[in-house]
Structure 1
Amino acid sequence: MHTDPGSISGSVLSSISRDLSGKNAGDILQRVADQFKGEIVCATSFGLEDQVLTDLIIRQGLQIPLVTLDTGRLFPETYELWERTEQRYGIRIQAFFPLSSSVEQLVNERGINSFTQSVEYRKDCCRVRKLEPLSRALKDQKAWICGLRRSQSVTRQSVEAVEWDSAHGLYKFNPLFDWSEDDLRQYIKAYDVPYNALHDRGFPSIGCACCTRAVRLCDDVRQGRWWWEEPEHKECGLHNRPRH
């Protein structure tokens, strides 16, 4: 669904936002599952947030399919968690891979690690390995769910429970928008939710192995992502938000 952003009035978005106001993550998931039945997916990259969302969806018996983007450069620990999550919940998470022809062209023209050369080249790599596969994952959907939180980084401090994703022409729901890192940890411990072993080795945010490193406890959650770039640039494009 690629609706003209102009056709979605601010009043419609405000109405949905008011309806979700004061609701907890489980309530938000239940409401959007009912409203967008058969036309909504939850995107997971197997981070703490995504594992909590997966557990909530399965625990509540919600009909929300899970999708993931396999960039081809993920950590071995991420693949292990992927398998463990499917086994734990008895589900299959649908994978979307980058187009092989696009990856070949990118690598053959610029080299295997061109993403380190400039922000522009890094974003091109993300476009090939993440954005294009995401567009296929969201095709024919009216909404998607992800684990954005306000406390994750300076680029996400104004995240709301629901937003209009103008790039894909659908609603984006962030049920954990106001959760803290401690909230995530407490939930995972309480419900014994499987999580990536790298989180216990100083990796609060985990992406591609070549673009992620461990950080200190005092560092920003996303400090280890694209560490050679300035904080305001540290988005891959999946969650670009309008600037006011």
Structure 2
Amino acid sequence: MITTYNEATSRLAAVLAEIKGRVALAFSHQIEDCIAIDMALKSGFDLDRLEIFTLDTYKLFKESLEYQKEVEKFFGIKIKTYAISGETLARVDEKIGQWGMRDSVENRKFCCHQRKMIPLREALNEKEAWISGIRAAQSVTRTGVSLCETDANFNLKKINPLFDFSDEFMWGVARELNLPVNELYAKGYASIGCEPCTRAIKPGEDIRAGRWWWEDPNHKECGLHIKGRD
């Protein structure tokens, strides 16, 4: 378990020092990603080889879009956006409509694949590694996450610098660094995704209980974070 933020940043720096190619850092409008950006910028990694990106699913909260602007201003960066084409989007809407992702797991995974996995593949093209903000403490589907994995989807290195951050440690870092925070947290959201598939959680509920809440918690992943191989 990590003990200090400087230790966590040094740990990331050591991993990045072994990377010779380009690295992508995923920003999904959550505090974990904001911390990951701070760590990457402090790691000493060649910023010309670092691309901070986001996936626009066309279903994001307005608060998340505003948060992205705040983060860009705070760090003095530009976050690159990837999204599916208008034609593909029209086909998705035609097939499942506005709320069809709630009709079945198959529909929901189809929606996630089209809106997230397709643009993610483009974002990770010609990258040697990507950095995510996932943590083992987030859900039962992520308990086995480690600092470095081989991504099972894209066959490249995946780095999870916050993998062993507890909720308390993570929010302590955010306060200490005075990082911008998505307004949705103050409204009861603990894990933030697309608007139709995310709700505020109730007292005592799991962090990710508000994501795809109509599904079994043991398979509540969109496909981006399939457990990799060490």
Q: What TM-score does the superposition give when structure 2 sets the normalisation length?
A: 0.91
CA–CA distance in structure 2, aligned partners of residues 192 and 61 of structure 1: 21
Letter in 2 for 1:201: K
Q: Which residue of 2 aligns with 1:134?
A: 120
Per-residue CA deviations over 1:73-108 (Å, capped at 9, x if unaligned) read 101110111001111111101110122221111211
Q: Is residue 148 of structure 1 aligned with residue 148 of structure 2?
A: no
Aligned partner (choices 80, 91, 95) of residue 66 of structure 2: 80
SS at match of 1:112: coil
Aligned partner (choices 162, 171, 180) of residue 148 of structure 2: 162
CA–CA distance in structure 2, aligned partners of residues 146 and 65 of structure 1: 12
Unaligned segments of structure 2, at least 5 residues: 1-5
Aligned partner (choices 49, 52, 58) of residue 35 of structure 2: 52
Aligned partner (choices 197, 214, 220) of residue 200 of structure 2: 214
Per-residue CA deviations over 1:9-59 (Å, capped at 9, x if unaligned) read xxxxxxxxxxxxxx9421232123322244111111021111111122234
Q: Is residue 225 of structure 1 aligned with residue 211 of structure 2?
A: yes
> In the alignment, is the contact (CA less than 8 A) between 1:99 and 1:128 conserved in 2?
no
Letter in 2 for 1:134: L
The two structures, once aligned, show a CA RMSD in angstroms of: 1.6
Q: How does 1:35-50 map onto structure 2 within 5 Å?
A: 35-50=18-33
Q: Is residue 187 of structure 1 aligned with residue 173 of structure 2?
A: yes
Q: Which residue of 2 aligns with 1:3?
A: none
> How far off its partner does 1:216 sit?
1.9
Per-residue CA deviations over 1:185-216 (Å, capped at 9, x if unaligned) read 10010010001011111111000011100012
> How far off its partner does 1:219 sit?
0.8
Cα distance change on mapping 1:242 and 1:177 into 2, 3 Å: closer
Q: Which residue of 2 aligns with 1:8?
A: none
Q: What TM-score does the superposition give when structure 1 sets the normalisation length?
A: 0.86
SS at match of 1:222: helix
Q: In the comparison of the two structures, how many residue pairs are matched?
A: 221
> How far off its partner does 1:228 sit?
0.6
Q: Is residue 119 of structure 1 aligned with residue 102 of structure 2?
A: no
Q: Which residue of 2 aligns with 1:106?
A: 92
> How far off its partner does 1:153 sit?
0.3
> In the alignment, is the contact (CA less than 8 A) between 1:205 and 1:221 conserved in 2?
yes
> In the alignment, is the contact (CA less than 8 A) between 1:226 and 1:234 conserved in 2?
yes
Q: Which residue of 2 aligns with 1:97?
A: 83
CA–CA distance in structure 2, aligned partners of residues 39 and 242 of structure 1: 20
Unaligned segments of structure 1, at least 5 residues: 1-22
Which region of structure 1 is more displaced relative to structure 2, 97-106 or 126-135? 97-106
CA–CA distance in structure 1, aligned partners of residues 31 and 71 of structure 2: 12
CA–CA distance in structure 2, aligned partners of residues 133 and 204 of structure 1: 25
> In the alignment, is the contact (CA less than 8 A) between 1:70 and 1:97 conserved in 2?
yes
Q: Is residue 32 of structure 1 aligned with residue 15 of structure 2?
A: yes
> In the alignment, is the contact (CA less than 8 A) between 2:150 and 2:158 conserved in 1?
yes
> In the alignment, is the contact (CA less than 8 A) between 1:24 and 1:175 conserved in 2?
no
